[in-house]
């Protein structure tokens, strides 16, 4: 199916994906754009959780949209559009992984759970001042958490992304990954345990650096104390 897109002014805010799909089938460019905006975040997160590379994840998402919008006739509405297109993204990302590792299947990707050997990312405290420093703190927190998610074994990471980040239900996650709901629950439980252990490990290494009182601050305190003692003696 080739979409002969028709440019139109205005947005389609508030339209459901189902209505947008109907309009996209008619070649409405604004409907296609709206569907992309609705699904970008989820598809990127799903792709990123598998390929673990931002640029390649973007390529996966782009290819997913191309395949979806050229095959809209194959979407019959038996599931949500977001569910249908997420499956396309999963297949596209996994296909790339199989080309790297020809024997890899989703059910077989289960790396051993081991200690986190990645680099330590400083976890900022809430003591950071507002403004630019506050924005830097948010970026560092995000980088730290992304690193922690990347360190999860493949099967746990994908379940964690779908359940805890995308907030998909256990049943929908199970359907997307071809797993039993009980398996999804088990993997999510183990993923959360691993995330908790990773965060605690990195945080504990930074406890000795909390509330620093050294350098000039330490010297100034000593000056003030000496001055007070002199006053008392006098």
Asked, for residue 222, whether it belongs to a domain, the answer is yes
Q: Model confidence over 4-61: pLDDT tens digits?
A: 455 555 567 778 889 999 998 988 888 888 899 888 989 999 999 899 888 899 999 9
Is pLDDT of 110 > 50?
no
- Residue 17's H or E segment, with its range, is helix 17-25
Give me the number of domains the chain comprises.
2
Residues 144, 228 within the same domain:
yes
The model's pTM is 0.61
Q: In 26-131, which residue ranges form alpha helices assigned H by DSSP?
A: 29-51, 54-69, 81-100
Same domain, 227 and 150: yes
Token representation of residue 133 = 């420093």
Residue 92 lies in a domain: yes
Residues 142-201 have pLDDT tens digits of 888 888 898 899 889 999 999 998 889 999 999 989 999 999 999 999 999 998 888 888
**Last-in-domain residue among 104, 122, 145:** 104
Q: Is residue 114 situated within a structural domain?
A: no
Beta bridge partners of residue 28, listed in sequence order: 6
Based on the fold, state whether residues 139 and 209 are members of the same structural domain: yes
Judgement on whether residues 79 and 139 belong to the same structural domain of the protein: no
203 in any annotated domain: yes
- Could you list the residue range(s) of the whole structural domain that residue 52 is in? 17-104
Q: At a CB cut-off of 8 Å and minimum separation 6, what does 41 contact? A: none
User: CA 29 to CA 67: how far, in whole Å?
Assistant: 16
CATH of the domain at 51: 1.10.1740.10
Q: How far apart are CA 14 and CA 7, in angstroms?
A: 19
The enclosing domain of 140 has a CATH number of 1.10.10.10
Residues 96 and 138 in one domain: no
């Amino acid at each position: 199916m080739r979409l002969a897109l028709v440019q139109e002014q205005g947005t389609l805010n508030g339209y459901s994906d189902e209505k947008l799909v109907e309009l996209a089938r008619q070649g409405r460019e604004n409907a296609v754009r709206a569907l992309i905006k609705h699904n970008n975040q989820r598809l990127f997160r799903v792709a990123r959780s598998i390929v673990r590379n931002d640029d390649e994840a973007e390529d996966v998402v782009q290819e997913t949209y191309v395949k979806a919008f050229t095959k809209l006739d194959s979407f019959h509405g038996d599931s949500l559009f977001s569910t249908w297109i997420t499956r396309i993204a999963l297949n596209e990302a996994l296909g790339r992984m199989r080309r790297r590792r020809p024997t890899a299947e989703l059910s077989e990707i289960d790396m051993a759970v081991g200690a986190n050997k990645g680099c330590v990312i400083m976890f900022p405290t809430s003591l950071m001042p507002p403004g630019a420093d506050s924005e830097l703190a948010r970026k560092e927190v995000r980088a730290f958490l992304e690193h922690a998610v990347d360190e999860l074994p493949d099967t746990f990471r994908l379940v964690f992304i779908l359940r805890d980040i995308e907030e998909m239900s256990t049943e929908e996650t199970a359907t997307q990954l071809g797993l039993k709901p009980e398996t999804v629950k088990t993997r999510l439980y183990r993923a959360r345990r691993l995330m908790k252990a990773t965060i605690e490990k990195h945080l504990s290494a930074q406890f000795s650096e909390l509330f620093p009182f050294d350098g000039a601050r330490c010297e100034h305190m000593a000056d003030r104390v000496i001055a007070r003692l002199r006053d008392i003696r006098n």
